[in-house]
Amino acid sequence: MSVAFVGVVAEVKRNTLNNFICKSCCVFGITEEEHAALRAEVGQVRPEQFSEAADRYVLGCNAWRAMRILGRFGFHLAAKPLGGRVKGPAGNRTVAIYTLFSVREEEEQ
């Protein structure tokens, strides 16, 4: 048995009361199969081609949609997300970092 981990990072902006915006997110540590599923469902994935050398992929969807898709591969939230405010030239932003895990059976050789 092995454990796989994926990171999902999102920037969440609050416009008004009960109006939150999260237009994109980054995912780290996905496999080629997971990349293909995200690309098929989301459409906008950068880089478009899977590469072992890529450190992260930017998705054109919110983090919760990405996590629902990854849930089909057995991923679950490992812990409460890390989060905080980031000050930048465009103003304050809120960043949320989710760690997902999946327990996988070893393939027989």
Quick one: pLDDT at residue 8? 97
Q: Which of 103, 108, 107, 75 is nearest to 2 (CA)?
A: 103
Whether 4 and 107 have beta carbons less than 8 Å apart is answered as: no
Burial label, 32 (beta-carbon count in 10 A; 0-12, 13-18, 19+): exposed
In this predicted structure, what is the pLDDT of residue 84? 87
pLDDT digits over 72-99, tens only?
Answer: 999 999 889 998 887 777 667 789 999 9
Return d(Cα 96, Cα 6) in angstroms, integer: 14
What pTM was computed for the model? 0.87
pLDDT, tens digit (0-9, with 9 covering 90-100), for 20-75: 889 999 999 999 999 999 999 998 999 999 999 999 999 999 999 999 999 999 99
Question: So where are the chain's domains?
Answer: 2-104
